[in-house]
Amino acid sequence: MVHSTADDVDAYLAEVQPERAEALTKLRELCRAELQGFSEDMKYGMPTYQRDGEPEIAFASQRQYISFYLMRTDVRDAFEERLAEQDMGKGCLRFRKPEKIDFELVRDLLRATASGPGPIC
């Protein structure tokens, strides 16, 4: 599933491959716990977390991996060393195996994002 037509995150999670559902659900739970004051919505065919209408975090089940989108350049810069060890594109961490997701890193990225507004790429 690269681009979902689900109306909400519950429907999105219901349509993902069973072997990824647990990891994606955990990502959602972390986002909801750490991103206080953000709204959860479906944008661009994936769950997104927005502050003041600007998406700052998203995740998706892609063909070959799970993507975690970190759209804040200041947070990426602050975590440059830890992110260097990850499979990462411009603003996307790619987790090729759900069991290899570093949920502690994700939690730290979410906390840094929630700490205050910053530049969106």
How many domains does the chain fold into?
1
Q: Report the CATH number that the domain containing residue 80 is assigned in CATH.
A: 3.90.1150.200
Q: What are the tens digits of pLDDT across the range 27-82?
A: 999 999 999 999 999 998 999 999 999 999 999 999 899 999 999 999 999 999 99
Tell whether 1 is covered by a domain.
no
Amino acid at 72: R
Tell whether 82 is covered by a domain.
yes
Tell whether 91 is covered by a domain.
yes
Tell whether 99 is covered by a domain.
yes
Tell whether 32 is covered by a domain.
yes
Tell whether 108 is covered by a domain.
yes
- The whole domain housing 63 covers 9-114
And the tokens for 53? Answer: 């209408």
Cα(78)–Cα(33) distance, rounded to whole angstroms? 21
Question: What average pLDDT does this structure show over 99-113?
Answer: 96
pTM to 2 decimal places: 0.92
